[in-house]
Amino acid sequence: MFQTWVLFFGMVAFVTSCKKDNNTGGTGNGGATTSLTVILSKTTVDIVSPENVIATVKDQNNIDVTSSCSIKVNGTAIIAATFTPITVGTYTFVATKDSITSSPVTLNVINSEAPTDSLYVSLSASSIENNGFDNVNITVRDSIGSDITSTCQLFLNGNTNISTPYTPDAAGTFTITAKKRTIPSNSKSLVVTARGAASFTRKILVEDLTGAWCGYCPRVADKLETYKATRPNCIVVGVHAGQGTDPYKYQYYSNMASAFGVGGYPAALLNRAGQWNEATSALNTALAKWAPLGLAIESTTSGSSVTGKVKVKFDVSTNKSMKIIIYLVENGLVYPQTNYYSPSGGATPYLYGGANPISGFVHNGVLRKAATDIFGDVIPVANQVKNNIYELPFTIPLSGATANGTSYTANATNSTIVAFVLDGSSDALGVYNVQSANVGTVKNFD
């Protein structure tokens, strides 16, 4: 950075006024002045490193007559022959002695740090859909083709700062420009169309962290059973957990409880975006969301394992981080359920006839195994293209161990594959869509 000096008309000067010699109109050698020449010590100065510029005036005999002349810069008299400019521009020097005026001499003052390059904006697409997922990559290059996007500001319609990739939040035609310091770019037009009708049915996932020992857990089970009776697109997985007696405890339940801050039971995760508040309205809101993708499942039983594949078809093109999770869940497991919503439990209203325990309680959707990481396997961004189908084959053993170390073998006839795609970023946007299919069947996109 250069130091700014307060100057008069952009310069410091110490020139004395021009005065006559004792000889009338003399030049010190007894002759009259017939011509003047202004000589500058420098003709170009960089404002980044200010320098003194000395103006010298000589007559026709090459005699230095500076002290007896009046010097003007850009038409304004200065008071010194030595000065330092403080602003970028062109300065014209003229000297006068008696009635003789010199030819003008120019000083150019530049700023070597000022950008002089041209900026060129390009877009990865000229038209995208306003669906919350489609975006456009903005690239800014200089005159030699170097990518300088990270050093520029990006603007929507000239005044709204945006970043790349840019995801629109409204339909319309927009202008995208860039600027580096004071240098503007060309402009590019982006057409954002309204979101179309969903190609896939929206389904939601509720992971019910429960336990046969948990006396308050029948409350959540009853609410979900009632809701699913009229809304089958709500898919419930029972993650048996906790410290009490339960033969179905999922082996990695503590990892899930820790990741989602579960401190007590019952606790239900809605679309992995947070804990469900047990309000029906929250389920309705989740079901009403637009589905950016759909899933299909096919599987067969092969010996002691289930093999198959999950397909994900995209209705968007996006570079949002996405992950896929595949579960094996078992249905129809009967085991007594503790119930505090009974006369002996003291909680009301009474549920399941007020029995405690509920001796014939049927546990459905019990999580047995995951074919993927329980927090998801990454879907390559290159596959997240509209109308593209991403396939993930899987093999899940029917046998395993519970968190208690007890062995089990799931009944394939009563088991289901549950697959879902969720946001893989730190934004924790949750599940984008979910699908379920009985083992040994084919479930197409719907």
Task: Tell me the residue range of the domain where 84 lies.
Answer: 1-113
Question: In the 3-class helix/strand/coil scheme, how is 99-149 assigned residue by residue?
Answer: CEECCCEEEEEECCCCCCCCEEEEECCCEEEECCCCCECEEEECCCCCECH
30 and 141 in a single domain? The answer is no
Name the pTM for this structure. 0.71
CA dist 400 and 281 (Å) reads: 37
Mean pLDDT of 210-234: 97
Let me know whether 266 and 364 are in one domain: yes
Last residue of a domain, one of 194, 214, 237: 194
Q: Residue 365 domain-assigned?
A: yes
What is the residue-wise DSSP string for 51-72?
--EEEEEEETT--B-GGGSEEE
Q: Is residue 199 part of a domain?
A: no
Residue 362 lies inside a defined structural domain of this protein? yes
Q: What are residue 188's phi and psi, to 5 degrees?
A: -125, 140
In which residue are the tokens 């310069």 written?
Answer: 11
Give dist(CA 290, CA 198) in Å, integer: 6
Same-domain check for residues 11 and 136: no
Percent of the chain beyond pLDDT 70?
A: 92
- The torsion angle over the Cα atoms of residues 220, 224, 225 and 226, rounded to 10 degrees, is 110
Q: Are residues 154 and 260 in the same domain?
A: no
Tell me: do 23 and 171 sit in the same domain.
no
**The pLDDT of residue 89:** 85
Which residue, among 224, 271, 220, has the nearest Cα to 241 in the 3D structure? 220
**CATH number, domain at 413?**
2.60.40.10
Rg of the Cα trace of the chain?
40
163 and 107 within one domain: no
Helix (H) or strand (E) holding 267: strand 267-270
Decide if pLDDT at 255 tops 60: yes
Nearest by Cα to 253 from 267, 268, 266, 241: 241
One domain, residues 177 and 315: no
By DSSP bridging, strand 105-110 and strand 44-46 are: parallel
Most distant CA pair in the chain: distance in Å?
Answer: 131
**Residue 88 has what pLDDT?**
81
Q: What is the DSSP letter of 319?
A: -
The verdict on residue 258 lying in a domain is: yes
Q: Dump pLDDT digits (tens) for 278-334.
A: 999 999 999 999 999 999 999 999 899 999 999 999 999 898 999 999 999 999 999
Residue 98 lies in a domain: yes
* 320 and 391 inside one domain: yes
pLDDT band at 87 (very low <50, low <70, confident <90, very high): confident
Q: Note the pLDDT tens digit of each residue in 140-174.
A: 998 888 899 999 999 999 989 999 999 999 999 99
Decide if pLDDT at 114 tops 70.
Answer: no
Q: Which SS3 state, helix, strand or coil, does residue 155 take?
A: strand
The reply to whether 166 falls in a domain is yes
Q: Using 50, 70 and 90 to split pLDDT, how confident is the model at 9?
A: very low
Domain count of the chain?
Answer: 3
Q: Which of 194, 221, 250 is the last residue of a domain?
A: 194
Confidence of residue 400 (pLDDT cuts 50, 70, 90): very high
Residues pairing with 433 in the sheet: 421
In-domain check, residue 217 = yes
For residue 126, the domain's CATH number is: 2.60.40.1080
Co-location of 171 and 131 in the same domain = yes
Neighbours of 301 (CB within 10 A): 15
Q: Which H or E run contains 229?
A: helix 217-230
Whether 108 and 124 share a structural domain: no
Q: Is the same domain home to 85 and 143?
A: no
Both 294 and 157 in one domain: the answer is no
Query: Which of 26-30, 31-35, 162-166, 385-389 has the least mean pLDDT?
Result: 26-30
- Cα 246 to Cα 46: distance, rounded to the nearest angstrom: 81
Domain boundary pick from 67, 89, 113: 113
Residues 6+ positions from 274 with CB-CB distance below 8 Å: 260, 428, 430
- DSSP states of 361-401: -EE-SEEEEESS-TT-EEPPGGG--TT-EEEEEEEEESEEE
